[in-house]
């Protein structure tokens, strides 16, 4: 993990919607994911005013413990194999993580906390694999509207940057790794609207097809992603839905 501290970042006043996460199991025709706001005022909870029950250092200790457990898992082992076989053919300049969820959820849910920590651990593991073959530091950026003060303090203590929407979308470039697991379809479309990133980790097009059937609205970006990338499914987190229906998309050389 990077150790260089980042500067403080000014909060934007523009409200944001929380991102609906999509969880899928089985092969039946899926129902369309439903948006569920947690507040009558869009983004009022997500705009960094939610109180914290854990401190940044307490979140850090939980992250270290959960990461150590995940590093002994089959999921970690398989993910390492996937990147070991491909890492020499790819370079990235930066990595943007969308929507991990809070490490300090309002209801204290252990499942939500664990999922956030495992997804963060996987994201940073992948970045570290690229970092080993890069002569320049790979900058990591996080955009998550439900982050509270402790969440942001924790991410910054790791040496990474926290931004408000739409800054993360605007920073995506052809050399970016985009990581966003189980997010709302419109978020994916915004993340790859500017350009096709070097790598995209998220819900693949075929899963959305099963959700929406013949409704192909806003699929231009997802169609392009599917056509121009090679793909492998993200290893499952045994016993959990942490990475269910998630794919690693590698943009082909001839599609730059």
Map out the domains of the chain as residue ranges. 56-255
Give the model's confidence band at 90: pLDDT under 50 very low, under 70 low, under 90 confident, else very high. confident
Map tokens 């995940």 to a residue. 70
Strands 176-179 and 94-98: parallel
Q: Record the tokens describing residue 29, joined without a space.
A: 């025709």
Give the model's confidence band at 85: pLDDT under 50 very low, under 70 low, under 90 confident, else very high. confident
Q: What is the pLDDT of residue 218?
A: 61
Query: What would the pLDDT profile of 55-75 be if each residue is shown by its tens digit?
Result: 999 999 999 999 999 999 999
Q: Which residue has the higher pLDDT, 210 or 13?
A: 210
Helix, strand, or coil here: 170? Answer: helix
Residue 174 has pLDDT above 60, yes or no: yes
Give the model's confidence band at 123: pLDDT under 50 very low, under 70 low, under 90 confident, else very high. very high
Q: What φ, ψ does residue 141 adopt, rounded to 5°?
A: -125, 140
Q: The whole model's pTM is what?
A: 0.81
CATH number assigned to the domain with residue range 56-255, chosen from the 4 options 2.60.40, 3.40.50, 3.30.720, 3.30.70: 3.40.50
Instruction: Decide if 126 contacts 83 (C-beta within 8 A).
Output: yes
Query: What would the pLDDT profile of 19-51 be if each residue is shown by its tens digit?
Result: 434 444 444 444 444 333 332 222 334 444 567
């Amino acid at each position: 993990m990077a150790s260089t501290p980042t500067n403080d970042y000014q909060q934007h006043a523009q409200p944001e919607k929380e991102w609906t996460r999509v969880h899928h199991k089985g092969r039946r025709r899926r129902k369309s994911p439903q948006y569920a706001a947690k507040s009558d005022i869009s983004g009022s909870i997500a705009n960094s005013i939610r109180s914290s029950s854990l401190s940044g250092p307490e979140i850090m200790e939980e992250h270290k413990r959960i990461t150590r457990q995940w590093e002994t898992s089959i999921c970690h082992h398989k993910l390492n194999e996937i990147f070991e076989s491909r890492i020499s053919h790819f370079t990235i300049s930066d990595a943007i993580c969308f929507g991990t969820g809070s490490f300090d959820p309002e209801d204290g849910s252990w499942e939500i906390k664990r999922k956030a920590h495992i997804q963060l651990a996987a994201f940073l593991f992948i970045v570290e694999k690229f970092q080993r073959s890069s002569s320049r530091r790979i900058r990591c950026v996080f955009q998550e509207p439900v982050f509270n003060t402790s969440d942001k303090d924790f991410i910054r203590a790791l040496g990474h940057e926290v931004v408000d929407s739409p800054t993360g979308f605007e920073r995506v470039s052809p050399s970016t790794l985009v990581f966003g697991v189980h997010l709302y379809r419109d978020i994916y479309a915004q993340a790859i609207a500017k350009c096709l990133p070097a790598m995209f980790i998220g819900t693949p097009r075929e899963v959305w097809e099963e959700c929406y059937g013949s409704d192909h609205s806003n699929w231009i970006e997802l169609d392009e992603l599917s056509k121009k990338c090679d793909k492998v499914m993200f290893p499952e987190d045994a016993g959990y839905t942490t990475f269910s229906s998630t794919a690693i998309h590698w943009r082909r050389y001839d599609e730059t």
